[in-house]
Structure 1
Amino acid sequence: MKVISSRDLNQDVSSAKRAARLEPVFVTDRGKPTHVLMSIETFRQLTGHGETIVDLLAMPSSAEIDMEAARAGGAWDRSAS
């Protein structure tokens, strides 16, 4: 378990995020734990939640759709009716 101060977190967020991929990172304020930074995978395991529809739609690997081509003469073309 990694512990960092809130000051260190503010100075190097990237390092804290890298550490959180491996294990939860406890953030302290004046020596007392106040927050926990963890990967989304760890969070989902702890809570029992899988990916939501919003997560799936936001994925960069999802197929790109050419909206103009889909509209032109297709089901979305209102001028064709």
Structure 2
Amino acid sequence: MKVITSRDFNQDVSRAKRAARVEPVFVTDRGKATHVLMSVEAYRKLAGQTETIVDLLAMPNLPAIDLEAARATDAWGGRSAG
């Protein structure tokens, strides 16, 4: 567990973010822990979350979607979108 002061955090956010990739970083204010910085992956694991819609949309191996073909037919009435 990494602990840094709020002053150190403000002076070097990048260092805190790098440390949070490895383990949670506790930020203190006057010696008392006030915040925790952690990676998104660690947070999702802690919260029991699975992939989000953003994760799914960012998947590189999905087939391309032909948006023009989807617009060409009105999904409700079968009419052309012309």
Q: TM-score, normalised by structure 2?
A: 0.71
Name the amino acid aligned to 1:35. H
Distance 1:33 1:18 in 2: 19
Contiguous gaps of at least 5 residues in structure 1: none
Q: Percent identity of the aligned residues? A: 63
Contiguous gaps of at least 5 residues in structure 2: 73-80
Distance 1:70 1:50 in 2: 28
Q: CA RMSD in A?
A: 2.3
Partner of 1:76: 71
The size of the alignment, in residue pairs, is 73
| 3-state DSSP of counterpart to 1:21 | helix
Structure whose residues are more often helix by fraction: 1
Partner of 2:78: none
Distance 2:61 2:7 in 1: 38
